[in-house]
Structure 1
Amino acid sequence: MLDTDHYARLGLGEIRDKVMAGHRLSYDDGLRLFACPDITAIGALAHHVRTRLHGDRTYYVVNRQVNYTNICVNGCLFCAFQRERGQQGAFALTPDEMVARVMDDGGVPFSEVHIVGGCHPDLPLEWFEDVIRRIHAARPSIVVKAFTAVEIAHFAKLAGIDTEEVLRRLKAAGLSQLPGGGAEIFAPDVRQRICPRKIDAEAWLRVAGEAHRLGIGTNCTMLFGHLESEADRVDHLCRLRAQQDETGGFTCFIPLPFLTENSLLKLPPERVGQHVGLDRLRTVAVSRLMLDNIAHIKAYWVMMGVKLAQVALHYGANDLDGTIVEEKIGHMAGSDAVQAMTIAQLEDMIRRSGFTPVRRDTHFNPVEEARA
């Protein structure tokens, strides 16, 4: 599948040689990968890198997601989750309700709680510090992965302090990791159209870098399949790679396909037709090939769907996320995936794809080898 002559005929001979030698691909290489008509050839290159890094291991985590509010001041065009205060469907959990969700593990204690929400106009930083402390008091061993860079910037604005001070205070309260949301697409013209009130790319990357320097790891994401071009995707990946070169704290990259069903952002037919699945697989593969300094690529089953996420494991992805338990953002956007997965379901999903399941913690340390 990695035949030299085949890649030469595709115009990818030099890229193949770079991949085999472990050399970095350029921006122009990324464009060529998106332009190549042979998606299986791109997938084979990405799978080679994935295998070199991880063998046949595929990771998952036993986690719970808590969305604390969908009341948000940003009003992003693509977002089906956001509501205004007083609008039908708006919600905001109390600290007691959040702790109750963390305590409700369904008999399978999870190692990580993933907390994200809208940028609520009234919730002060002290509210979030208190929630983290209460979660740790209730479950001392749990890892709190919470708040996107966008939320951190919002907390700072409301408190009248800088984002680094927000991160310091949340870390002192018990925050361990930031999720990677809010990056969307870095291209300024597209960003202005789909999320004009959200912090720009430079601010998002700055907050990520501040977190890394404070010892707070983060994930990173890219929302794709909306108004962006393939060149915008490659630029986004290159900027994440440059940030990783500088501060080194990105744990995992998650390509997030835009779900159109319940969004105000409507797309032309060619963006929602029969080739969407192939585009998602290609984007996973190109991400694996471009992001040579980020160890893990996630096929997020909630957004990709279970079957496509399984295929993505052969296109460069090595992680499926986790049990989740309750997720609102993707499902309100139109995801038809189930709300939760059991450990047995995740392990079966991985094995049926030809890989070995490895239960991990937030930092990708193996917790327990899957049962034979």
Structure 2
Amino acid sequence: MSDSAAFKAEIEAKLAAGERLTFEDGVGLYEIDDLAWLGRLAHQVRIDKNGDRTMFNVNRHLNLTNVCSASCSYCSFQRKPGEADAYTMRVEQAVALAEQMKDDAPTELHIVNGLHPTLPWRYYPRVLSALKETLPQVNLKAFTATEIQWFEKISGLGLDRILDELIESGLASLTGGGAEIFDWEIRQHIVDHDCHWEEWSGIHRAAHNKGLRTPATMLYGHIEDPKHRVDHVLRLRELQDETGGFSVFIPLRYQHDFHDSQDGKIRNRLQPRTTMASPAESLRVFAVSRLLLDNFDHVKCFWVMHGLDVAQLAQSFGADDLDGSVVEYKITHDADNYGTPDKMSREDLLELIRDAGFQPVERNTHYEIMREYDPPESLAERRARPQSVQF
């Protein structure tokens, strides 16, 4: 038996026995040259946990400001004070945008911002309260751990006080951003702020202890190696063992090829050192993550960063959630020319999921089921037809 065949047999035996995979197993899964086999294993885990259902929600994104004190090397969203397209919304402007969202009947508003150097701390709970008053039925999923740490810095308040005030103002969940890659070997080259693994995990631990369930993310496809990805997800797995507070894991594909239509300035300083993960590599990330994260209920494919073809295929490589309707996700759309649409309607998402051979299920931020839709007429027939994808 070849080394590859022996490794595959060992992994299959571990999964059949319910045995947890190790760091070495994870690295080996990235090295194995059999994507179909890997997808088949991950798909079985996905089916065991969630059946043929693929979740989505009707959500909107709102970025209150793109002004940021940090200059992370991969980020083309951030602007410095005084730049032509730098902006900061007044509370009244954010409310006016929320008013325009009512007709779409979203269940979630996703809010992520730059680390603004002069906005006062009180602005943030005030804007949450105003948005919640405008959209009382909408869950406010807001702020990365990096932003929470920034709020501690600019307010002088402790973490517990910050979280309590935000929850009182309507916060339903943190976002999972700011995680990027936790290993310092890579992290020191990609981020320009002080929120690292110890701080990121401590903030999410505190949020979980207050009853919030939060997402977790990983930015992949830049200068990291597979071992850094495995280390990243195993840290999350260990924290999930402790708190049980993560609702979903979201691999985020680093965006390399882009133009900034506003000023033509290239802000991504990693660009000379990177390309971008191929669709095949993205599917591998989903599959390996699904196999390693045995204590996570859900794995999400954020279609904006992966493209619609990969989003369909990812559902057969471990992913059981496609995020939502989104609308104007500036952090990615300011960074790429990849061609994903600004918005997917509920009907678009239903078609995307059914066309891949899965049953659409609409959820809210807390992964509570809002509505189950009819599945495709024949899952077996749909899966028998090849799907095209640009590799």
User: Would you call these one fold, judging by a TM-score over 0.5?
Assistant: yes
Deviations 1:222-248 (A, max 9, x none): 001111111000000000001111111
Counterpart of 1:151 (choices 111, 133, 147) is 147
In 2, the alpha carbon distance for the partners of 1:324 and 1:10 equals 44
Q: Establish whether residue 171 from structure 1 lines up as the match of residue 167 from structure 2.
A: yes
CA contact (8 A) 2:313 2:356 kept: yes
What is the match of residue 352 of structure 1?
355
Q: Where does residue 323 of structure 1 map in the other structure?
A: 325
2:223 touches 2:273 (CA, 8 Å); kept in 1?
A: no
Deviations 1:278-308 (A, max 9, x none): 1111001111001111111001001011111
- In the alignment, is the contact (CA less than 8 A) between 1:10 and 1:36 conserved in 2? no
- 1:271-290 superposed matches below 5 A: 271-272=275-276, 276-290=278-292
Q: Distance in 1 between matches of 2:335 and 2:91?
A: 26
| Residue of structure 1 aligned with 2:207, choices 208, 211, 214 | 211
1:80–1:264 CA contact under 8 A, matched in 2: no
Paired position in structure 2 for 1:296 = 298
Distance 1:60 1:7, change over 3 A: farther
> How far apart, in 2, do the equivalents of 1:128 and 1:111 lie?
20
SS at match of 2:362: strand
Distance 1:324 1:171 in 2: 23
Residue of 266, 269, 285 corresponding to 1:264: 269
Distance 1:333 1:10, change over 3 A: farther
Matched, 1:235 2:235: no
TM-superposed deviation, 1:325:
1.7
Higher mean C-alpha deviation, range 138-147 or range 347-356 = 138-147
Aligned to 1:25: 21
Instruction: State the TM-score, normalizing by the size of structure 2.
Output: 0.90
* 1:106 CA displacement: 6.3
Q: Which moved more, 1:205-214 or 1:328-337?
A: 328-337
Tell me the alpha carbon deviations over residues 96-118 of structure 1, each in whole angstroms, 9 at most, x when there is no partner: 11112222126220111111111
Query: Post-superposition, which runs of at least 4 consecutive aligned residues in structure 1 deviate over 6 A?
Result: 5-8
8 A contact 1:7–1:13 mirrored in 2: no
One-letter amino acid of the structure 2 residue matched with residue 368 of structure 1: R
- State the partner residue of 2:311: 309
Structure 1 residues 171 and 106: CA distance shift in structure 2, 3 A: closer
The 1-side partners of 2:144 and 2:55 are apart by 22
In 2: Cα distance, 1:282 partner to 1:10 partner: 20
Q: How far apart, CA to CA, are the structure 2 residues paired with 1:174 and 1:107?
A: 21
After TM superposition, give the deviation of residue 74 of structure 1 in Å.
1.1
Aligned to 1:59: 55
Equivalence map 1:358-369=2 (5 Å): 358-369=361-372
Q: Distance in 1 between matches of 2:325 and 2:360?
A: 13
Match status 1:342 vs 2:338: no
C-alpha displacement of 1:31: 0.6
Partner of 2:262: none
Supply the RMSD in Å over aligned alpha carbons.
Answer: 1.6
Match of 2:31 in 1: 35
Amino acid at match of 1:294: F
CA distance in 1, matches of 2:20, 2:74: 33
Q: CA deviation at 1:267?
A: 4.7
CA distance in 2, matches of 1:8, 1:195: 37
Over residues 129-158 of structure 1, what are the superposed CA-to-partner deviations in whole Å (9 max), with x where a residue is unaligned? Answer: 111111121121211100000000001100
* Distance of 1:315 and 1:190 partners within structure 2: 26
- The alpha carbon displacement at 1:7 in A equals 10
Q: 1:264 to 1:94 in 2, by over 3 A?
A: same
- C-alpha contact (below 8 Å) 2:222/2:254 kept by paired residues: yes
Partner of 1:201: 197
Q: Distance in 2 between matches of 1:70 and 1:182?
A: 15
TM superposition shift of 1:23: 2.2
Partner residue of 2:222?
A: 226
- Taking structure 1 as reference, are residues 87 and 247 closer, same or farther at Cα in structure 2, changes over 3 Å only? same
Gaps of 5+ in 2: 259-267, 376-391
Q: CA deviation at 1:125?
A: 2.1
Distance 2:98 2:148 in 1: 22
CA distance in 2, matches of 1:23, 1:351: 33
**TM-score normalised per structure 1:** 0.95
Identity of aligned residues (%): 40
- Equivalent position SS for 1:113: strand
1:81 positional shift: 0.4
Instruction: Give the AA of the match of 1:128.
Output: Y
- Judging changes above 3 Å, is the alpha-carbon distance between structure 1 residues 21 and 6 closer, same or farther for their aligned structure 2 residues? farther
Matches of 2:360 and 2:17, distance apart in 1 = 28
